[in-house]
């Protein structure tokens, strides 16, 4: 398992390094003291690169401390746990894929609301209060911060979904 984590960490470091190099092309200064449009993407990539490096270092240090001996075949409980983790990852990836694909047609607000609910369910959340409140809160916070405060245009949707989305952006 540690080899896979080390490989994943190395991939993340390489990916975010490449994206950061590409992101520096976004930086531009129009006026003194003004934050350009590339500032936040570059800051996000720097944070992701830093976290990836920290994760990789921690994984390498941990793997050197504990040498894992090869074990026999996994027990039924371990196999069941591995299946549950794989199902959770698969459902999470499916939710994210559908979120990205459906967003241009139904708009950002509705797709985010549905995504938060579906993602919580795919992660195993079963508390009704969390499932009923979190989509509203997360969607409202994202729209308030990014659409109202930072004024990033989000997909509105098509047809009746566009009319529905316009209610939130006025």
pLDDT at 170: 67
Residue 91 reports pLDDT greater than 60: yes
3-state secondary structure of 74: coil
pLDDT at 149: 77
- Decide which of 81 and 105 is more confident: 105
Give the Å distances, CA to CA, from 154 to 19, 27, 57, 143, 165. Answer: 22, 22, 37, 9, 10
pLDDT at 101: 93
Residue 103: name the closest of 142, 74, 75 by CA. 142
pTM, 2 dp: 0.60
Task: Report pLDDT digits (tens) over 4-56.
Answer: 888 999 999 999 999 999 888 877 756 666 666 778 888 999 999 999 999 99
pLDDT at 12: 92
Q: How many Å apart are CA 52 and CA 18, to the nearest integer?
A: 13
Task: Report pLDDT digits (tens) over 131-168.
Answer: 999 999 999 998 888 877 777 777 888 888 888 877 77
Residue reference for tokens 């979904």: 161
pLDDT at 33: 64
Give the Å distances, CA to CA, from 127 to 73, 90, 96, 108, 139. Answer: 35, 22, 22, 25, 19
In sequence order, the 6+-apart residues with CB closer than 8 A to the CB of 43 are none
């Amino acid at each position: 398992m540690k080899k896979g984590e080390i490989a994943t960490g190395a991939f993340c470091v390489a990916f975010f390094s490449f994206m950061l190099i590409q992101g520096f092309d976004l930086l531009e200064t129009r006026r003194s003291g003004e934050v350009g449009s590339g500032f936040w993407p570059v800051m996000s990539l720097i944070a992701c690169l830093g976290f990836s490096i920290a994760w990789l270092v921690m994984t390498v240090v941990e793997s050197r401390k504990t040498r894992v001996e090869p074990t026999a075949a996994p027990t039924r409980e371990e196999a069941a746990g591995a299946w549950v983790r794989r199902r959770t990852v698969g459902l999470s990836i499916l939710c994210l894929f559908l979120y990205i694909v459906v967003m241009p047609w139904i708009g950002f607000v509705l797709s985010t609301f549905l995504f938060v609910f579906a993602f919580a369910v795919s992660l195993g959340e079963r508390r009704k209060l969390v499932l009923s409140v979190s989509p509203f809160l997360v969607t409202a916070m994202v729209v308030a911060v990014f659409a109202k405060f930072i004024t990033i245009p989000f997909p509105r949707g098509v047809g009746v979904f566009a009319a529905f989305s316009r209610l939130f952006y006025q």
